[in-house]
Amino acid sequence: MVEENLVLYSEDAEIAVMALNRPRALNALDMPTLERLSTLLDQICAAESVKAVIITGSARAFSAGADIRYLHRATPLDLRDFARLAVSVNNKIENLGKIVLAAINGYAIGGGLELAEACTLRIAAQAVKIGHPEVNIGAIAGFGGTSRLPRLVGKGRATELLLRGRLLAADEALDIGLIHKVVPPENLLDEAKAFLRDIIGFSRIAVKLTWEAIHRGLDLTLEESTLLGADMFGLVASSEDFRIGINAFLEKSRPAYIGK
């Protein structure tokens, strides 16, 4: 049975907030926590009232990654299942159909950073430390980091970070494009919600299809990717929101999108 308090959940004006809640373990990921995240993501996906999501951590960590105590006692087959569950959760985040923002409040290390990398956007509090130190314990970034980090910061930077295992300060992570904004820690959640409200004020369909074109297009050739963008443009043009936006522009008024 999964304990619900492993991930705290709340909603605020169309934004869902999920906070990892294992503070004594620096919000390390174990099977029950991943299962709880998976359940909540399914609920959010089906919830019309939720337009965007924030993932953060309680206390002084976002997530310290995989629970080392579990890694120590589990069998290789157990760990394969564990990694596959983590990959499944991260894939759900990436393909949720809604914007997911990682509000990195403290350490985001290993699997914790992989959770953030699966999010659409990332902002961080000042003085956080993030990175992939898996090589320090003879492991690799097996929750998607070897795939997502190169897509976010480029192959060269990702290779150096994954092979050296060093931790980054927030400013360096900002400089290489791994995060999008650095804010004072006391303002993190407010800034995260403001960041998302800038986006959810637009057409939900346009936002969803823009992300889909970006995400799917990365695995295509340039020609295929641009054609996908053209197809998405045609698809969004069939929506009522497209007509609302065009009419509002011509009338010099503020569009009131309906998400259809």
Can you give the pTM of this predicted structure? 0.93
For the chain, residues classed under CATH 1.10.12.10 are 204-251
pLDDT, tens only, 173-207: 999 999 999 999 999 999 999 999 999 999 999 99
Write out the catalytic residue numbers: 114, 134
Q: What is the CATH number of domain 204-251?
A: 1.10.12.10
The string of DSSP letters for the chain reads ---GGGEEEEEETTEEEEEE--GGGTT-B-HHHHHHHHHHHHHHHH-TT--EEEEEESTTEEE--B-HHHHHHS-HHHHHHHHHHHHHHHHHHHTSSSEEEEEE-SEEETHHHHHHHTSSEEEEETT-EEE--GGGGT---TTTHHHHHHHHH-HHHHHHHHHH--EEEHHHHHHTTS-SEEE-GGGHHHHHHHHHHHHHTS-HHHHHHHHHHHHHHTTS-HHHHHHHHHHHHHHHTTSHHHHHHHHHHHHT--------
CATH architecture, range 4-200: Alpha-Beta Complex (3.90)
pLDDT in the model for residue 259:
86
pLDDT, tens only, 61-109: 999 999 999 999 999 999 999 999 999 999 999 999 999 999 999 999 9
pLDDT, tens only, 206-253: 999 999 999 999 989 999 999 999 999 999 999 999 999 999 999 999
For the chain, residues classed under CATH 3.90.226.10 are 4-200
